[in-house]
Homo-oligomer: A and B are copies of this chain.
Amino acid sequence: MNVIEEFEGVKEYFSPRIISEVNGQLIKLAKIKGEEVPWHSHKEEDELFLVKKGSLLMEVEGMSSFTMKENDMFVVSKGVEHRVSSEEECWIMLIESKSTKHTGEVESAITKSFDQQQY
């Protein structure tokens, strides 16, 4: 499986696509453009972000916000409030537990259920 080809198949923003699984962790690809992701946290799970294209503004509680560029990696630890946004289209790879909802306990317009998704 080629990650770039899989990204090309992602047609919607803020709609993570599961491409693989390793030891109960899901590998997801998402395209981000705009500020629709609300502040949220994941109570029990860490979330890894790896930027594949473009740049991502990462805001994390208790830290200065910072911009992630291509091949930058950052892990938001469990329970930590965070928000991501991007003015231009940005491609990100995520690693998170099977049980992680992408907007945490916060329901928003972009909240998706992955229960039925195949990969």
Q: Which B residues are CB-close (under 8 A) to A110? A: none
Q: Are B97 and A1 in contact (CB under 8 A)?
A: no
Query: Shortest distance in angstroms between A69's beta carbon and chain B's nearest beta carbon?
Result: 8
Query: Shortest distance in angstroms between A74's beta carbon and chain B's nearest beta carbon?
Result: 7
Q: Are A25 and B27 in contact (CB under 8 A)?
A: no
CB within 8 A of A46: which of B3, B23, B71?
A: B23
**Does any Cβ of B come within 8 Å of A95's Cβ?**
yes
**Does any Cβ of B come within 8 Å of A2's Cβ?**
yes
- Count of this chain's copies in the oligomeric assembly: 2
Query: Interface residues of A toward B: which range?
Result: 20 to 34
CA distance A96 to B23 in the complex (A): 8
Residue of B nearest to A74 (CB): B1
**Does any Cβ of B come within 8 Å of A19's Cβ?**
yes
Q: Which B residues are CB-close (under 8 A) to A73? A: 1-3, 19-20, 27
CA distance A72 to B22 in the complex (A): 15
CA distance A46 to B23 in the complex (A): 6
**Does any Cβ of B come within 8 Å of A47's Cβ?**
yes
A-B pairs, 8 with minimum CB distance: A22-B48, A3-B71, A22-B46, A4-B71, A23-B46, A1-B73, A22-B95, A23-B97
